Chain A
């Protein structure tokens, strides 16, 4: 299968300032016991990003803007990590990564994991739906549909909330794994333009 990108992926705007990557080896602990780790990592990224935002803190608005960005990064990182952990292909030793990058104009949060070719196909179909439809309407429809089924559905609701509630632009890259051709690695990236968040710039 060929490598493909979708949506807003790898759009570098402005000078690269700071970045941080955390990587996890999914073989080292079962999903349930590493679930807590998602929250800890997401909280850490949210705290970390505020270090690089205007630090004058002199006005309530500036403080409010910082909290807003911190929350947005924490929420997005948590959702991307949860998805990466849930859908990761556990049969091979490929790490799960979460990456935060800050430029003068935007914050990018991206997660990478391994998935089976079959999962990749399902995910790609969902990505195409997201790109074709209005995310707000798709979100409400998915909420209605998920209420009708007793079991958890793979609704990718987290991705829709990232676009609809946080105004982030999503992008995806699917690549065949160099060592394990039976799986693919997928990177899901969310870009938050800083100007959308209370006019704060780094």
Chain B
């Protein structure tokens, strides 16, 4: 398991190497600060492609730089042949339904599972 921790958040790549779980509040100051997390996400894009799951159910807050980071990953996944990408989201965390739909506009095949 590999993880990146900050004062208010944790990002964990599970041992299966295709599930990434996010927890807490992500409000880093720009793409340079988000680069290690984006690199960790990109490490799931391997050949042959496997389903990738991003579990956001415990990610309470994400700033717009974080939205940019997810957009970059989604675009990279979209342009990678055969990748199935799924976001696990929560109905009780209001930004999930509001903002994740924009990622679907970038990658129509993206699955957002709200529970």
CA distance A152 to B31 in the complex (A): 6
Interface code A71-86, partner B: CB below 8 Å = 1, 0 otherwise? 1101100110010001
Smallest CB separation, B44 vs chain A (Å): 17
Smallest CB separation, B88 vs chain A (Å): 19
Q: At the interface, is chain A mostly helix, strand, loop or mixed?
A: helix
> Could you say which of A35, A68, A157 contacts B64, with CB atoms under 8 Å apart?
A157
A157 pairs with B98, CB closer than 8 A: no
B29 pairs with A82, CB closer than 8 A: yes
> Could you say which of A78, A144, A151 contacts B63, with CB atoms under 8 Å apart?
A78
Q: Cβ of B25: which chain A residues have Cβ within 8 Å of it?
A: 39
Asked if B32 is at the interface (CB within 8 A of a chain A CB), the reply is: yes
> Could you say which of A144, A151, A152, A161 contacts B67, with CB atoms under 8 Å apart?
A161
Asked if B81 is at the interface (CB within 8 A of a chain A CB), the reply is: no
CA distance A51 to B108 in the complex (A): 40
Listed residue (A36, A75, A166) with the most chain B CB atoms within 10 angstroms of its CB: A75
Chain A's closest residue to B71 (CB) is A143
Interface code B57-76, partner A: CB below 8 Å = 1, 0 otherwise? 00001011101100110011
Q: Cβ of B27: which chain A residues have Cβ within 8 Å of it?
A: 35, 38-39, 78, 82
Q: Cβ of A166: which chain B residues have Cβ within 8 Å of it?
A: 98
Q: Cβ of A32: which chain B residues have Cβ within 8 Å of it?
A: 29
Q: How many residues of B contact A (CB 8 A)?
A: 27
Chain A's closest residue to B76 (CB) is A147
A146 pairs with B68, CB closer than 8 A: yes
Smallest CB separation, A96 vs chain B (Å): 15
Asked if A182 is at the interface (CB within 8 A of a chain B CB), the reply is: no
Q: Which of A112-150 contact B (CB under 8 A)?
A: 139-140, 143-144, 146-147
Interface code A54-95, partner B: CB below 8 Å = 1, 0 otherwise? 000000000000011001101100110010001000000000
Q: Cβ of B31: which chain A residues have Cβ within 8 Å of it?
A: 151-152
Asked if A7 is at the interface (CB within 8 A of a chain B CB), the reply is: no
Q: Cβ of B102: which chain A residues have Cβ within 8 Å of it?
A: 139-140, 143, 161, 164-165
Interface code A144-174, partner B: CB below 8 Å = 1, 0 otherwise? 1011000110010110010011100000000
Q: Show the binding face of A for B, using Cβ within 8 Å.
A: 31-32, 35-36, 38-39, 67-68, 71-72, 74-75, 78-79, 82, 86, 139-140, 143-144, 146-147, 151-152, 155, 157-158, 161, 164-166
